[in-house]
Amino acid sequence: MEARFPRLSVEKEFAQAIGRAETAGQTGQQAFYNALSKPENRYLVRQMCWVFTIQGLETYLIQPRDSGDFDRLVEAIRPQPSPMDMDVIVGVRGPIAPPEMCNGLMVPIVAFDQIYSFDRDALIKAIPCPEKTKPEAFKPAAEEVFDRIMQMTDNAGATDDHRALNYLAMRYPVIYAKAAEEFARDFSLTGLEVRPSPLS
């Protein structure tokens, strides 16, 4: 998740807000986060454009469906970002953004209901280890399954297949347990495939 200035006028207003703040000893990212976190600068949060990137590609512009959710966008910035940081957006995909919305960036708009921000290691640690599996064997299995899902080149959550995989990665620990079980039987993970259920 990345906050950007849609227009030069917003960038100048933000520079004034930073100029009024005490930023000694802060990195640029920390000062940016702290400025947007202040209630008196909430109007700037509403004016920013919020870009969701997937594997380094600008994929969506994010907007809250509820105006009270701008705080969630600020929380997703992180004062000390890491390459392992991840964000999950749950929302409704809308039309392509007009060029004036975010300084010429024309990608689909997603109106979000929920944002989950975490890092990869925290997610892996939160996955419950099955009773019959040793933690030292389960962690690498969970990491491999999760990384395979994240590395799918075109997974922007735009298709039913991708949404199903993303849901499983975040909310269905059984897939990690099954992978660990199969690794213990000397099988390897060669790919991930989504098939329609005969029950649907």
Residues 102 and 7 in one domain: yes
Identify the three-state secondary structure at position 2: strand
Residues 85 and 51 in one domain: yes
Residues 155 and 91 in one domain: no
Q: How buried is residue 13: exposed, middle or buried, by Cβ count under 10 Å (0-12/13-18/19+)?
A: middle
Of 76, 101, 118, the one marking the end of a domain is: 118
Residues 148 and 66 in one domain: no
Residues 12 and 29 in one domain: yes
Question: What per-residue confidence (pLDDT) applies to 20?
Answer: 85
CA distance 200 to 183: 30
Which sign, positive or negative, has the C-alpha torsion 50, 55, 58, 61? negative
Of 71, 93, 118, the one marking the end of a domain is: 118
Residues 159 and 80 in one domain: no
Question: What per-residue confidence (pLDDT) applies to 200?
Answer: 66
Higher pLDDT, residue 21 or 14: 14
- Which residues have a Cβ under 8 Å from the Cβ of 89 and sit 6 or more positions away? 52, 60, 62, 110, 112, 114, 115, 157
Residues 32 and 107 in one domain: yes
Of 86, 118, 150, the one marking the end of a domain is: 118
* 72 contacts 62 by C-beta, under 8 angstroms: no
Confidence of residue 13 (pLDDT cuts 50, 70, 90): very high
Question: Where in the sequence is the domain holding 65, given as residue range(s)?
Answer: 1-118
The structure's pTM equals 0.81
Q: Residue 6 above 80 pLDDT?
A: yes
Q: Residue 23 above 90 pLDDT?
A: no
Residues 113 and 148 in one domain: no
Residues 34 and 57 in one domain: yes
- How many domains does the structure of the chain reveal? 2
Residues 103 and 152 in one domain: no
Residues 59 and 158 in one domain: no
Nearest to 90 by CA among 52, 55, 33: 52
Residues 94 and 18 in one domain: yes
Half-sphere exposure of 195 (CA within 13 A, CB side): 4
Higher pLDDT, residue 193 or 15: 15
